[in-house]
Amino acid sequence: MFNRILVANRGEIALRIIRACRDLGVQAIAVYSRADRGAEYLNLAHDAICIGGESPGSSYLNAAAILSAAEITDVEAVHPGYGFLAENATFAQMCRDCKIEFIGPSAESMRLLGNKVAAKKLAKKSKTPCTPGSDGPVESEDQAVDLASEIGYPVMIKAAAGGGGRGMRAVHNEASLRSHFRNARAEAENAFKDGTLYVEKLVERPRHVEVQLLGDPSGHVVHLWERDCSLQRRNQKLVEESPSPHISARTRRKICDAAVRLARAAGYYSAGTCEFLVDDQENFFFMEVNTRIQVEHPVTELVTGVDLVQWQIRIAAGEPLKLKQEEIEQRGAAIECRINAESPEEDFRPSPGPIQHLFLPGGPGVRVDTHAYSGYTVSPYYDSMIAKLLVHRPTRDEAIAAMRRALAEFRVSPIKTTIPLHQKLFEHADFLRGCVDTGFVERTFGPATWKPA
């Protein structure tokens, strides 16, 4: 096992990695930007070092600064967390070139799976169902139109290098396809410096179901069952749960096996997630593979009892993945709410600033992952998530009751949070019945619903 690793991230995921290090007896070196100086979680690291200014570009996205920090603190590995450099194959290669292990998959599989077109090719090869569409880049508007009329509207325009919804367009007829094609390309150019687009059939009212994977370099790959992340707003996940209330045991098996096949085909190791869209008939279609630990990983930790972050570190340190597929059980029901410093009443405008009072929920079945505390200031420079609130109970209904209880206990002031939205979600009949799709939140809780009473 490593003696010392660098935590190349901030906030709750940095704390999560520091906790895993403490549990493994590994020294964690935290890095921080000037904006995060003095944050409590830095005191839980063996040491902390300032690597840059407030802007991510000068700190958490600054590969040179992070590697310099790694050199002067003499670490053996770097954990990138999620976001920032987590899925940057070049950074992974830079680390390894400096003889510092990157805690994640190989740069090759990151590149392979990071490219949607290549990933889709691989999916087909490994018999993982994909949405019908262009099996490669669509060069021109006209080609896109021909393809669309062939597979039938509605279709989705997507950026090959895309993510977070940028460069994505749903179009329902030729006119809108033509009008959106150009600006989708421009957006992709800006966002990813790669204007390559492709077109595929739009799955209507889709559920978002993803499969958690763990693998080691020897080729041993297991799944840790699925998470349902259908509650999203503008492609940002709000609530995640396991098991998915949308799929039968039979579909669960099929979708998990498909994910494992794909990971094996990609020579994938470390932790990763294979995302699918599922329609009302439980047909599932491959979306993409995330080659990092995800925000919602604790949902899987609760139902399986497996510590995913510890395993990432173990695998990077050369430990064989000892988990056997048949030993990994999906026990009870777990749900996560992402608590963001945003004001639902003001179209989810970020609400940064000092937290004067923070009362965290606790008691039976509750897990809280947060770097915040009374006196912590939510920085405007980074994403607005201040806490992950999770519950784990024997059944989904009990988990929902426990989440209601925990949301009622959770007090943050004076900043605004998404807690009021979560409280509405956990009272809504459609969610309680477990039949929502990725458009549910925007349809049901649009700005109109937040008019001051």
Partner 1 sequence: MDIKDIKDLVELMVANDLSRIEIQQGETHILLRRGQPIVVSSLAGAPAAAPPANPAPAPSAPVAAPPAPVSASDTYIRSPMVGTFYSAPDPDSPAFIKVGDRVEPDTVVCLIEAMKVFNEIKAEVRGTITRVLASNAQAVEYDQPLFAVAAS
Please report, for residues 109, 130, 245, 297, the alpha-carbon distance to residue 278 in angstroms, rounded to integers and kept in the order given: 25, 11, 12, 20
Q: Looking at beta carbons only, is 67 or 421 nearer to partner 1?
A: 67
Q: Which does 52 bind (CB under 5 to 8 A by kind): partner 1, a second copy, none?
A: partner 1
Could you tell me the smallest distance in angstroms from the CB atom of residue 2 to partner 1? 11
Active-site residue, from 292, 338, 367, 396: 292
- The token pair at 41 is 């979680």
Binding mask 184-213 for partner 1 (x = CB under 8 A): ------x--x--------------------
Give the C-alpha distances (Å, rounded to integers) separating 234 from 191, 270, 409.
17, 29, 27
Residues 9-28 that bind partner 1 (CB under 8 A): 27
Using rule CB under 8 A, residue 357 touches partner 1 = no
Least Cβ distance, residue 387 to a second copy (angstroms)? 9
Give the one entry of a second copy, partner 1, none that residue 71 binds, where binding means its C-beta sits below a cut-off of 5 to 8 angstroms depending on kind: partner 1
Instruction: Specify the residue, 237 or 297, whose C-beta has the smaller distance to a second copy.
Output: 297
- Strands 353-354 and 377-378: what pairing? antiparallel
Residues 323, 300: contact at Cβ < 8 Å? no
- 227 near 302, Cβ under 8 Å? no
* 414 prior amide bond cis, ω within 30: yes
* Residue 452, contacted partner among a second copy, partner 1, none, CB below 5-8 A by kind: none
Q: Which two tokens mark 304?
A: 């399986």
Residue 64 interacting entry, from partner 1, a second copy, none, C-beta within 5 to 8 Å by type = partner 1
Instruction: Determine, following the binding rule CB under 8 A, whether residue 381 of this chain makes contact with partner 1.
Output: yes
**Cβ neighbourhood burial of 364 (10 Å; 0-12, 13-18, 19+):** exposed
Catalytic annotation present for 292: yes
Residue 354 binds partner 1, judged by CB under 8 A: no
- In this structure, is the dihedral angle defined by the CA atoms of residues 154, 159, 164 and 166, taken in order, positive or negative? negative
Q: Which of residues 48-77 bind partner 1 (CB under 8 A)?
A: 48-55, 57-59, 62-65, 67-69, 71-74
List of residues contacting a second copy (CB under 8 A): 15-16, 19-20, 22-25, 40, 44, 298, 301, 305, 307, 309, 331-332, 357-360, 362-370, 373-375, 394, 398, 401-402, 404-405, 408-409
φ/ψ of residue 207, rounded to 5? -95, 145
- Contacting residues for 276 by C-beta, under 8 A, at least 6 apart: 208, 209, 210, 211, 255, 258, 259, 284, 285, 286, 287
Among residues 320 and 362, whose Cβ is nearest to a second copy?
Answer: 362
Residue type at 402 in one-letter notation: A
Catalytic residues: 292
What residues line the site for partner 1 (CB under 8 A)?
A: 3-4, 27, 29, 34, 37, 46-55, 57-59, 62-65, 67-69, 71-74, 190, 193, 380-381
